[in-house]
Amino acid sequence: MESSTTPGGRTRREATRQKLYEAAVTLIAEQGFSATTVDEIAERAGVAKGTVYYNFASKSVLFEELLRHGVGLLTASLREAAERTAQEGGDKVDALDAMIRAGLVFIDRYPSFTQLYVAELWRTNRAWQSTLMVVRQQAVAVVETVLREGVENGEFSEEIDVPLTAAALVGMVLVAALDWQAFQPERSLDDVHSALSRLLQGRVSGRR
């Protein structure tokens, strides 16, 4: 997961935190949160153990910040896709379609993070559960905005449940992408996007 760079010490600290994020997400995806130690994270990141604690108070705090960081990147990519579509004169279905593709691109780039994120959504005993719910809602809210605008301009039915539909679209992309990577890796991103695009546009039944 790449971070923007700025002059001076801030750049070095962001680069270090980036290494720690990447080490943590890889290790936790491989062996689970409880089994992963701070020593292992430091070793994988190529830094001293004290560097981990300098940047994060604990392993739990590191993981919580990792969730914020990763979902923040996903949210930004969804928002940018919607905004770009609007600038190009596309309608709200086009915006949702662009967001589906942006989500697939993100998941293809960060598969280990996506696996962790989806797994954590189903856990209820984590210290960072409230943070997870907040960052999840941030991503879903981007989709909700497009849906509401579509309802307001008459493009979508007023009968749709906006929050549930937004959550369903995000969930569809996450689960379909993980299934693609785990069980159908021979498929291209374009193949997966095309299949989800047909679902979005109601072209599954074959009815005219």
Residue 201, pLDDT above cutoff 50: yes
Residue from 139, 116, 101, 113 nearest 1 by CA: 113
What lies within 8 Å, CB to CB, of 124 at 6+ separation is none
pLDDT-based confidence at residue 203 (cuts at 50, 70, 90): low
Q: Are residues 40 and 112 in contact, defined by beta-carbon separation less than 8 angstroms?
A: no
Put residue 8 in one of left, alpha, beta given phi > 0 → left and psi -120 to 50 → alpha. left
What does the chain come to in residues?
Answer: 208
The overall longest dimension of the chain from CA atoms, in Å, is: 64
| Segment 74-132, tens digit of pLDDT | 999 999 999 999 999 999 999 999 999 999 999 999 888 888 888 888 877 778 888 88
Q: Identify the pLDDT of residue 3.
A: 41
